[in-house]
Amino acid sequence: MRRNFIRGSLVAVAAAFGAGSRTSEASPIPRGLDIADGQGLTLRKAYVDARFGQMHLRMVGQRQRATERGKRPLVCFHLSPVSSVIYETWLSEMGKDRWAIAIDTPGYGMSDPPPKPPSIGDFAAAMGDCLDALGIGETDVMGYHTGSKIAVELARQRSQQIKHLVLVSAPVYTAEDLAQVRVDNAVPTPEPSGEFLKQIWQALWRWQDKAVTPEALMHSFPDHLRGGDRRAWGHQAAFAYTYPPHIADIMAPILVLNPEDDLVTYTRRIAPYLKNGRVHELPGRSHGFLDLHPSEVAAIVRPFLDRNDGR
């Protein structure tokens, strides 16, 4: 009941936005949905319809106020195999001056799954459906690991709509590297003892920011499991999509953030392929840094998004 009610509300919102238009000017959101606490800083959740079913999203900020300030929306795509839960603190930071949205990738979080293993192109097209359902025209996008590849592909599919890209890690692999990361990211087989849960936890814990606590990791840990037997689909799609032949087509400004996580070395290799971008190193930061240091990261990202030349 609640899911259908929220979806219906978003359909009404989409109608108010002029859903389906990629370039139309933003129109006001009905007051009850656009303003939750007088400042628009309350995290809200909703569903929209897309090609694979319903897609779940989180959002913070007031679209009308942001539009008046000349701020484009920021739409965020998460890494695999978790959900948009990783962006909750980040949305609260970026939602202070713009409409900030994070979407659960199809098959993850609370978004419906595709009928078969998708490609990065399929994921990106579904994200494009969400932009249309929300009536979003020009926008900036942010990706994290798998989400970075989705962001790049969406910018290829909608080159006039996507104005800036922020990528948290953008690895370039050799054939040997790719073979190893496939092994490292293999999904443990569930068994009665539950030992596989410990394996997943330890793999996640290894690359957490030093300031992350076990209690903090538990906030997102359930979403690492929610995909069930589809958990591997995101990684499979990501490993089949290589940056060099795809990112070279992107003329929109690109900012690559490179924390010291499991992809730090591979991400440094992306620099020669960026026609209009740069790599910004984040020494001492790893998974969880968007929760721990949102204002620090925002001080890097905001100027990039707000400058016309994107540098």
As a whole number, mean pLDDT of residues 7-24 equals: 39
Q: Which is nearest to 99 in space by CA: 23, 148, 28?
A: 28
Q: Does the pLDDT at position 36 exceed 80?
A: no
Residue 249, pLDDT score: 85
Q: How far apart are CA 43 and CA 76, in angstroms?
A: 14
Whole-angstrom CA distances from 262 to 145, 207, 243, 269 are: 10, 7, 17, 14
pLDDT tier, 227 (very low <50, low <70, confident <90, very high otherwise): confident
Q: Which residues contact 132 (CB under 8 A, 6 or more apart)?
A: 14, 19, 20, 21, 22
The number of angstroms, rounded, from the C-alpha of 86 to the middle of its chain's C-alpha atoms is: 9
Q: Which domains are seen in the chain, by residue range?
A: 2-306 (3.40.50.1820)
Q: How far apart are CA 270 and CA 277, in angstroms?
A: 10
Q: How large a percentage of the chain has pLDDT more than 70? A: 86
Q: How far apart are CA 49 and CA 233, in angstroms?
A: 21
What pTM value is reported for the model? 0.87
As a whole number, mean pLDDT of residues 272-296 equals: 96
Q: Is 4 exposed, middle or buried (0-12, 13-18, 19+ CB in 10 A)?
A: exposed
pLDDT tier, 229 (very low <50, low <70, confident <90, very high otherwise): confident
Residue 309, pLDDT score: 55
As a whole number, mean pLDDT of residues 127-151 equals: 97
